[in-house]
Amino acid sequence: MGFKTKKNINSSPLPLGEGSGVRVAIDEDLAGQQDITALLVPEDAKAKAYVICREEAIVCGIEWVNEVFRQLDKDIKIKWKCEDGNLIREDNVVCELEGKARSLLTGERTALNFLQLLSATATVTYQYVQKLAGTSVKLLDSRKTIPGLRAAQKYAVRCGGGHNHRMGLYDAFLIKENHIRACGSISEAVAAARNIAKKQIEVEVEDLIQLQEAISAGADMVMLDNFGIDEVREAVMINKGKVLLEVSGNVSLDNIRNIAQLGVDFISVGALTKNVKAIDFSMQFVT
């Protein structure tokens, strides 16, 4: 079938159900009413269908598809021919479905919306990760996610071989420009963070002077924001391994490998979850 299994998904998706966004997505279509077009089909009519992927992609979103049909009709049977994290070739079938025709029709678009979005995030992540092959640099995502779907998209990043930065504002400090201004300085911001909680402290810096202040203040990690190649190289020399270094901003598939070879620890790319181009999936009934 052309599948290639990826083994580096470092955790499973969060439990689905009411908190997964599936109920909201279904309600967008039904609004508590009926799929009036599906009523064209006899109520007791059964059907078989399959979902095909029209382009090479990393598949992601299986549990979201399952949940869509579980909430619509628990009797729908789905047989998956791949797993999340598999690399699937163009025109391969990813799953087969069987059950009431009305239920399949009603759930089709919602299920494919999750599959195309999450597979898109996983696929672009995979493309970036491939560029980092042979280096020790880890690819990170950001909080630039579609509202309400952060956990899902961050799971998709893991399926593509990437790693998650913060899940939210609660699990680590990231001291940015406005925090620094509000606190008075990088040193004051880092000191205040130490007194609040024993969590990782990262400081976003805009130049080499700020980098030196962040290192002196005792930051655990420093984000080099929109640094050019020469600035990153100098930052690595100044740091000498004292703190973890992350590069963020102006990163593309064309330059990420050059950046990785400079000696940084992490590269973050907001485009993994922000600039999403859906993967082309379609559902077709078997006649």
Question: Hey, what are 76's tokens?
Answer: 């729908």
Span 106-124, average pLDDT: 98
pLDDT confidence band for 147 (50 / 70 / 90) = very high
- Look up the CATH number of the domain holding residue 117: 3.90.1170.20
Which pTM value belongs to this model? 0.92
Based on the structure, what is the number of domains in the chain?
A: 2
Please check whether residues 81 and 165 belong to one and the same domain. no
> How do residues 205-250 score in pLDDT, each as one tens digit?
999 999 999 999 999 999 999 999 999 999 999 999 999 999 999 9
User: What pLDDT, on a 0 to 100 scale, did the predictor assign at position 9?
Assistant: 57
> How do residues 32-75 score in pLDDT, each as one tens digit?
899 999 999 999 999 999 999 999 999 999 999 999 999 999 99
Q: What angle do CA 79, 20, 14 make, to 5 degrees?
A: 80
Neighbours of 228 (CB within 10 A): 10
Helices (H), the chain: 22-30, 62-72, 101-131, 150-159, 177-183, 186-196, 208-217, 229-239, 256-260, 271-274
User: What pLDDT, on a 0 to 100 scale, did the predictor assign at position 2?
Assistant: 42
Which residues are known to be catalytic?
A: 109, 144, 176, 204, 225
Please check whether residues 200 and 124 belong to one and the same domain. no
Question: Hey, what are 260's tokens?
Answer: 């990785």
User: What pLDDT, on a 0 to 100 scale, did the predictor assign at position 16?
Assistant: 55
Domain that holds residue 160: 134-274
Distance CA 229, CA 20 (A): 40
